[in-house]
Amino acid sequence: MQSADTLQQYFDLGGKVAVITGGSRGLGLAMAHAFAAVGASVVIASRKQEACDEAAAAVTAASGRPCIGVAYHAGNWEDSDRLAALVYERFGRVDVLVNNAGMSPLYESLTAVSEALYDKVLDVNLRGPFRLAALIGERMAAGEGGSIINVSSIAAVQPTPNELPYGMAKAGLNAMTLGLARAYAPKVRVNCIMPGPFLTDIAKAWDMEAFNRRAQSTIPLQRGGDPDEVVGAALYFASAASSYTTGAILKIDGGSAYPAA
């Protein structure tokens, strides 16, 4: 029988270093606060340095743990190289990598999707996570191991015409999760969180009355998710609590999407 102290140790990230892309807001920021609260030093990487600095200051103020912000564009291959080099120079290690950065621009029709838009969506949602995971995963595997967490979307398994390139990229991220879990085993665990509709900053652009009406019939839990509701899954995958879990894709969507076949 496990004691309360032993159970707490499962989720302890004391002495660990976590890198979170897209970490200045939304799900990424919720994870940054959670990781720091259980002892991790955190690197918040996102496009705008000012937003990263503000988020990092808030995490440090709340937790007392070191947290730094780094400007990072997931669509730029060289930015992944720069980010990895900076983090290893500053901290000497990475124990947890969260590939959370993503984007899904609006378009009028599928034929209106330009080559530039298509490339941008695939670059940010798939190419960048691949490069960063390869750089850090290789060093994790050669060192003390670690955990890589990819943040996908239910669009990967249930895409709509309004987000098809995004869904295609996230489906690739799901496949990448399985491949990296084998590539960097046994010392590195690679798992994926697959969120549904969460009420993050992006929801400010939604027609909430229409969303709430749809949620009553399309989401078994009948609502969107709160950003803090991703924390349990993130802590599980980041910590020793998931020591025998790799290659897993965890759907967190209120039950709205059917699982992939």
72 is catalytic: no
Q: Give the model's pLDDT for residue 219.
A: 84
Output the pLDDT for position 93: 98
pLDDT digits (tens, 9 = 90+) for 61-85: 999 999 999 999 999 999 999 999 9
Question: Would you kindly state where each structural domain of the chain is located, as residue ranges?
Answer: 4-249
Q: Could you tell me if residue 82 is left (phi over 0), alpha (psi between -120 and 50 degrees) or otherwise beta?
A: alpha
Chain mean pLDDT for the chain: 93
Q: What is the DSSP string of 167-225?
A: HHHHHHHHHHHHHHHHHSTTTEEEEEEEE--B-SGGGGGS-HHHHHHHHHHH-TT-SPB
**Residue 115 identity:** E
pTM: 0.94
The mean per-residue pLDDT over the stretch 110-129 comes to: 97
Model confidence pLDDT, tens digit, residues 120-137: 999 999 999 999 999 999
Given the residues 72, 166, 184, 236, the one annotated as active site: 166
- Span 160-189, average pLDDT: 97
CATH for 4-249, options being 3.30.200.20, 3.40.1410.10, 3.90.1580.10, 3.40.50.720: 3.40.50.720
Q: What band does 261 get if pLDDT is binned at 50, 70 and 90?
A: very low
Structure tokens at 171: 């489906």
Q: Which amino acid is at 150?
A: N
Kindly state the percentage of the chain with pLDDT values over 70.
93
